[in-house]
Structure 1
């Protein structure tokens, strides 16, 4: 187990260095002058602009800037924007909103997705299976912003079941509806993965042997089939948690939730490179941590993975 974890950690480290360098390079070559953007329509005095550029090392070579950023990152510093406010402080104000939204959506994905997948597999060929299939196809076919606005109109404006926008009502009232929208695509994917895996495992020899020994179908499905069928779904869910934390830009915009996604969007639009890089770096670390964690879980579910 230890060599396997060391190998996965080293792989994650290489991925982090490569992806973070690409993101830093993309921000570095973005058109426009971020210092000039601070003043809006009025140009900054040349002395002030020069001082800001020197303060943030904007004229240094790319690799020098990137190396300095990694040095600060090792000390827990995600950088400072051009107004002097630390990126970590900006994110701290918005993390609670994004975490509540992402975790609520993730729980909906996991519970409903696995449940629908198992149900469809056990009822293969019936109207239940066809209903789940139709739902999953519809969920992945509708763009998220269309689904978000439709949910707002139907459940917020007409039925008045949930707040239309904002987080004034707190959790869960303000978060259930946007979480359902965010979770729709992942829920569909999880249910299809689980359905396929469960149907394959139900035809396996060990299932027939267990049934021949007198075990009930419920016990066989829960103890044996489900364990072997969850590896693809667990992998997807772990990676999708990182996506949910960083990919809620559209939904946070539709429902006016002041989270990390909204901060990232505003930073990209305002050419605030340190904020873009700091937020992106945090999301990369979340993705990689989730990936290593899911590999560990999969290796526990199936010890053969550690031998690959």
Structure 2
């Protein structure tokens, strides 16, 4: 067990350094000079540009810049943008909005996705099953920005049921619509995974044995079948949580939510490399942690799964 844990941690460390270096190299290799872009239409003198480049160590070799960034990261410093603002403080201000949005969408994926999957499996080959199948296919085929704009126009502008944009109304009113838009694809996938897995498990010998012993159908499905069928869905949900907490750039932009995704989009437009790298690093950490959580949940749900 200790050996398996050590190997897993070593793999996560290798992935972290490899991915962060690639992102760091790609961000700072983008065309254009971010220092000169600070002046907008007004030119900046060569002396000022040279001073700023030296202050931000942009003239150092790439590997030196990266190692300096990692050194600061180990102390909790995500860097400073070209306007002198702390990247970490900007993320902390945007993080609550993204966490609320992401967890709200995640809850919808779990509740609605599992519910639809269980119903489809128990009503296999009926009009209910076919209706859920068609709905989930449509949900995964329509681009998220189309769903977002359409939902905003219908529920916000035409019907006036929910706010059009912003987070002033607070949770849950301001987050229901964007969370539903983000969750549509995930809950569709979860429902299909649960349906397929449950249908396979409902035909297993242990289910027939449980029925022969006279166990209640609700206990058979809720305790035995659902637990063994949840592993594919749990894998998806755990990894999808990293995406949701990362903030959907498009959805946060459509609904004007001041979250991590919106901050990332603004940083890309402004050529703020330190902010882009800092946010990307935080998202990588989230994905790695959720990946480790998947392994733990696999073992918890099925003790037969062991990593020797």
Note whether the superposition's TM-score is higher than 0.5. yes
CA RMSD of aligned residues (A): 1.0
Gaps of 5+ in 2: none
Q: Match of 1:299?
A: 299
Q: Is 1:276 aligned to residue 272 of structure 2?
A: no
Gaps of 5+ in 1: none
* Structure 1: 4+ residue segments shifted above 6 A: none
Matches within 5 A, 1:75-224: 75-224=75-224
Q: Match of 1:288?
A: 288
SS at match of 1:304: coil
The answer (yes or no) to whether the contact 2:247–2:259 under 8 Å persists in 1 is no
Supply the distance in 1 between the matched residues of 2:21 and 2:304 (Cα, whole angstroms): 34
1:207 to partner: Cα distance: 0.9
The answer (yes or no) to whether the contact 1:78–1:87 under 8 Å persists in 2 is yes
1:184 to partner: Cα distance: 0.3
The answer (yes or no) to whether the contact 1:4–1:306 under 8 Å persists in 2 is no
Supply the distance in 1 between the matched residues of 2:237 and 2:4 (Cα, whole angstroms): 21
Supply the distance in 1 between the matched residues of 2:154 and 2:45 (Cα, whole angstroms): 52
Q: Match of 2:264?
A: 264
1:14 to partner: Cα distance: 1.1
The answer (yes or no) to whether the contact 2:247–2:260 under 8 Å persists in 1 is no
Query: Deviations 1:25-81 (Å, cap 9, x if unpaired)?
Result: 101210000100111111212221111101110011111111111111111110110
SS at match of 1:306: coil
1:7 to partner: Cα distance: 2.1
Supply the distance in 1 between the matched residues of 2:127 and 2:167 (Cα, whole angstroms): 39
The answer (yes or no) to whether the contact 2:98–2:247 under 8 Å persists in 1 is no
The answer (yes or no) to whether the contact 2:72–2:79 under 8 Å persists in 1 is yes
Supply the distance in 1 between the matched residues of 2:161 and 2:34 (Cα, whole angstroms): 43
Q: TM-score, normalised by structure 1?
A: 0.98
The answer (yes or no) to whether the contact 1:98–1:260 under 8 Å persists in 2 is yes
The answer (yes or no) to whether the contact 2:167–2:174 under 8 Å persists in 1 is yes
1:3 to partner: Cα distance: 3.0
Q: Match of 1:5?
A: 5
Please, which moves more after superposition, 237-246 or 282-291?
237-246
Supply the distance in 1 between the matched residues of 2:177 and 2:210 (Cα, whole angstroms): 42
Supply the distance in 2 between the matched residues of 1:33 and 1:200 (Cα, whole angstroms): 57
1:2 to partner: Cα distance: 3.3
SS at match of 1:231: helix
The answer (yes or no) to whether the contact 2:81–2:272 under 8 Å persists in 1 is yes
Query: Deviations 1:93-143 (Å, cap 9, x if unpaired)?
Result: 111111111110000001110111011000001111011101100100111
1:247 to partner: Cα distance: 4.4
Supply the distance in 2 between the matched residues of 1:121 and 1:49 (Cα, whole angstroms): 64
Q: TM-score, normalised by structure 2?
A: 0.98
SS at match of 1:53: helix
Supply the distance in 1 between the matched residues of 2:304 and 2:27 (Cα, whole angstroms): 41
Count of residues paired in the alignment: 308
The answer (yes or no) to whether the contact 2:211–2:217 under 8 Å persists in 1 is yes
